[in-house]
Structure 1
Amino acid sequence: MLGALIIVFREVIEAGLIVGIVLAVTRDVPRRGYYVAGGVAAGVLGACLLAVFAGELSNALEGVGQEAFNASVLIVAACMLAWHNIWMASHGRAMASDLRGVGLEVAEGAKDLTALAIVVAVAVLREGSEVVLFLYGVAASGKETVVSMLAGGAGGLALGAALSALMFHGLVKIPAKTLFGVTTGLITFLAAGMAAQSVVYLQQAGLVNVWARTVWNTAWLLPDDSIFGRVLHVLFGYVDQPSGMQLAVYLVALSGIFLATRAAAPKTPQARTV
């Protein structure tokens, strides 16, 4: 539930900021709300279609290389989460600037209102597609039921939409750097946990056999199927009996994503001392 909530919350916040920028810049443009709403609806519809096709693919492969398929989903989801952090760190400001530019052109009459709908639809479709892939990764990890994922996704959607609305109307002021810094850290741990979980499926399929010995056993202290163990598993990838390969993949993924995200972030100019 927590994994789904964090992922959906982050993506809704990003989509909400995009919609907020467009609405703010085109505040005085008549009927701009209809076009923005249409763009949101088109993006959501596209993400839903992607979810249907992904579900059909999963059902078609059920029982035939299911472990390999689950591992592939987890690996792709972990890579996408990592790339998402890195891309947002390096392109977040430029994207916001581009969106403001499109909004100003529409407000000045240089572009048709259809441009707003297209920009919003593409943004929502991108975020929605990432949600679909990431939730399939959470499902493939085997620690979340469908009900808990739906509850977490609904909670993330509600919280993200509410916070986006409050921030747009100026009722709540949270620095974007702080908000995305916290969620970026959580997503980094989620991605590392997914990468490590993919090793379990590859070992079950007999595709990975090196470093298969259990490194430690803390099931007596904190089993990963307990309530607190599940929370730690979702948030930080905790496993009570990890293999050597699981631990190695987790540490490499965690450090690699952290360093790459930090390197991609634009450097703030230092003030000169006279």
Structure 2
Amino acid sequence: MLAALIIVFREVFEAGLIIGIVLAVTRTVPHRNRWIGGGVLAGVLAACVVAAFAGALSNLFAGMGQELFNAAILTVAVVMLTWHNVWMARHGSELAGELRSAGQAVVEGSKSLLALAVVVGVAVLREGSEVVLFLYGVLAAGDDPAWSVALGGFGGLLLGALVCVLTYVGLIRIPMRALFATTTVLIALLAAGMAAQATHFLEQANWLTAMDTIVWDSGWLLSDSSFLGRALHTLIGYTDQPTAMQLVVYLAILLVTFVLMRIYGSPAKAMPEPAHG
């Protein structure tokens, strides 16, 4: 539940920032709500189509062996989560600037509202498609039942939307740098945990046998089956009996993520505060 909540909250918040910037810049344009709302709806519907195809793909490859299929889904989710962190580190601020420019062009009459609706729709589609893939990864990990993932996702949706609305109308002010830094670290830990879980599935299927010795057994102190153990497993990938390969993969994903963010990111540019209407 916690993983779904964090992932959906982050994606909804990012989409909400995009929509908020566009709404703030174009608040003097007649009928802007109708066009922007249409763009959001189109993006949501397109994301639903992606979800439907993801389900069909799941059924198509389910016969390859549950462990191998789960490992494949988790691997794709890890790649996408890692790329998401790196991409946002580099393009977050310039994306906001481009959206402001597009909104200003509509205000000045040099660009149509349809073009702005397309920009918003594509943004919602991108974030929605990432949510679909990430939640498939959470389900593939097998740590939470479907109802728990759905509940966490719904909670993340409501929380993200509420924070965006309150920020937009000026009731609260969130330091964007702190928020994105915190969620970036959480998503990196989630990705590392998913990678370790994918390694576990491959070990179960005997596709990965190297370095399969148990590094430690901390079940006497904190068991995987306990409430706190499950929560830490979701948040940081904790397991009470990790193999050497799981540990190496976990640390490697964290290292790769932060090295790529350091190399390709633009730490001098922070996600700007949203304009308040």
> How high is the TM-score relative to the length of structure 2?
0.94
Partner amino acid, structure 1, of 2:33: G
How far residue 262 of structure 1 moved from its aligned partner, in angstroms, is: 3.0
- 1:65-118 Cα deviation digits (max 9, x unpaired): 222221111111111111100110011011001111110111111011101110
How far residue 259 of structure 1 moved from its aligned partner, in angstroms, is: 2.4
Partner of 2:99: 99
Runs of 4 or more, structure 1, over 4 Å off, are: none
Partner amino acid, structure 1, of 2:97: S
Structure 2: 5+ residue runs without aligned partners? Answer: 270-277
Partner amino acid, structure 2, of 1:264: Y
Partner of 1:176: 176
Partner of 1:110: 110
Partner of 1:246: 246
Partner of 2:164: 164
In 2: Cα distance, 1:224 partner to 1:258 partner? 27
| SS of match in other structure, 1:206 | coil
Does the C-alpha gap of structure 1 residues 8 and 26 become closer, same or farther in structure 2, counting only changes over 3 Å? same
- 1:244-269 Cα deviation digits (max 9, x unpaired): 10000001111221222233332539
In 1: Cα distance, 2:150 partner to 2:267 partner? 39
Alignment of 1:116-195 (within 5 A): 116-195=116-195
How far residue 53 of structure 1 moved from its aligned partner, in angstroms, is: 1.2
Partner of 1:200: 200
Does the C-alpha gap of structure 1 residues 32 and 141 become closer, same or farther in structure 2, counting only changes over 3 Å? same
Partner amino acid, structure 1, of 2:8: V
How far residue 220 of structure 1 moved from its aligned partner, in angstroms, is: 2.0
| SS of match in other structure, 2:148 | helix
Alignment of 1:1-274 (within 5 A): 1-268=1-268
Q: What is the RMSD of the two structures over their aligned residues, measured on CA atoms?
A: 1.2
In 2: Cα distance, 1:258 partner to 1:233 partner? 21
Identity percentage of aligned residues: 57
In 1: Cα distance, 2:225 partner to 2:251 partner? 22
- 1:4-59 Cα deviation digits (max 9, x unpaired): 00000000000000000000000000000011111111111111111111112212
Partner amino acid, structure 2, of 1:17: L
8 A Cα contact 2:67 2:202, kept in partner: yes
In 1: Cα distance, 2:69 partner to 2:98 partner? 38
| SS of match in other structure, 1:217 | coil
Aligned pairs, how many? Answer: 269
Partner amino acid, structure 1, of 2:222: L
- 1:231-251 Cα deviation digits (max 9, x unpaired): 100100001111110000001
In 1: Cα distance, 2:25 partner to 2:268 partner? 26
Structure 1: 5+ residue runs without aligned partners? Answer: 270-274
Partner amino acid, structure 1, of 2:123: A
Partner of 1:272: none
Does the C-alpha gap of structure 1 residues 241 and 49 become closer, same or farther in structure 2, counting only changes over 3 Å? same
